[in-house]
Amino acid sequence: MNQKDFNEIQRIAPLLTQEDFNQEVKNYADRGELADLYEQIVADVQGQYFYNCDACDEHITPDLSRKRIKTKVLKKVPQLALFLKNIHSGAEYQVQALSMLRGEQVDFGNISDFKRDLRLRHEERWTRVLREVTGNNEVQGGVSVLGAVSEELLKRAIDIVSQSPDIFQTTQDDTKSYGDFVLMSLPNNLWFSVKSGFSRERLLASGFNNDLVGVGFFEASDEFISSHKIRNLKKAGFLAIYLPDVAVTQQQHENSTTTFTEVQDFYAKEGNVPPLNINGTAFFRKLSTLGDDIKSLLDVELQKRSTLKF
């Protein structure tokens, strides 16, 4: 949220003019309210390079104004997500806006760096304590959005690797508990459980004795050096945990280290071989290699595709 970002966005993907925005929302029943809201947002962004969504508190219907920003304004002008304060913009718009600014698509080579960038912007976005009020629980909303951002990043990276219908994101509640993505395979489908900064017990909660893969932007390497936890992960059906091999925190960035490197260094220091999975292959893997592993499976026709060597 600064002049540099604003100037770059205006060069790459300029904000819609008021006239163009009005045209975009002309069929909406609340087009008048949307036009007024957009005018206020753009005026502030052009003047101070951000719009504080707490200004919605002065509106007749504050929560409705926030909803319009999140569901309608950003749908038409997603790059505005870079310049909004004190609001949880949708994961799709956050990632799309940052992709515009950086001039690159999310892939497995830059996915961890995208996550670090988005996390820093999330921290910058909030200038006050999050509220916990009925109809606008910002604490709960923040947890949901951070998780959704991780899934959105993985979805976009997978789309770069393959457009195969044999791998897709789960959306229904009755299957979501198994994993966030599934790759059709034999003898079992391969389920992907996506996590944000920390695994804690949430990875274990995903396990139902299927073939599972943990994918995360894990910040703490000490979560993956407990033999007890690793044993439980394997018992739950995990074949691999993909750890960031690019810095995901500012401290890692400054120290030129990564979660994957720290885990590997631990086992090397202890004189032990890093854990293997039930198939005898590496249990901890670089997140940047996930795309290649997915592609190697999808390159084989379904009838011959197997997770037995994964």
pLDDT digits (tens, 9 = 90+) for 272-288: 889 999 999 999 999 99
Q: Pick the last residue of a domain from 134, 160, 186.
A: 160
Q: Which domain holds residue 122?
A: 3-160
Residues 123 and 246 reside in one and the same domain: no
pLDDT on residue 201 = 46
pLDDT on residue 142 = 80
Quick check: is 310 in a domain? no
Residues 50 and 135 reside in one and the same domain: yes
* Model confidence band, residue 185 (pLDDT cutoffs 50, 70, 90): very high
Q: Model confidence over 92-133: pLDDT tens digits?
A: 999 999 999 999 999 999 999 999 999 999 989 999 998 887
Average pLDDT of span 208-213:
78
* Model confidence band, residue 138 (pLDDT cutoffs 50, 70, 90): confident
Query: Taking the model in full, what pTM does it have?
Result: 0.91
Residues 31 and 54 reside in one and the same domain: yes
Q: What is the mean pLDDT of the chain?
A: 91
Residues 118 and 169 reside in one and the same domain: no
Strand runs (DSSP E) across the chain, as ranges? Answer: 51-52, 84-85, 132-133, 136-137, 167-169, 181-183, 190-195, 211-216, 238-243, 284-286
Quick check: is 12 in a domain? yes
Residues 178 and 290 reside in one and the same domain: yes
Q: In what order do the strands lie in the sheet with 190-195?
A: 167-169, 181-183, 190-195, 211-216, 238-243, 284-286
Residues 271 and 151 reside in one and the same domain: no
Residues 28 and 7 reside in one and the same domain: yes
Residues 240 and 110 reside in one and the same domain: no
Q: Say which residues have a Cβ less than 8 Å from residue 71's Cβ, sequence separation at least 6.
A: 90
Quick check: is 309 in a domain? no
Domain count of the chain?
2
Quick check: is 245 in a domain? yes
Q: Model confidence over 217-226: pLDDT tens digits?
A: 998 898 898 8
Residues 202 and 214 reside in one and the same domain: yes
Quick check: is 192 in a domain? yes
Residues 183 and 147 reside in one and the same domain: no
Residues 68 and 188 reside in one and the same domain: no
Residues 154 and 186 reside in one and the same domain: no
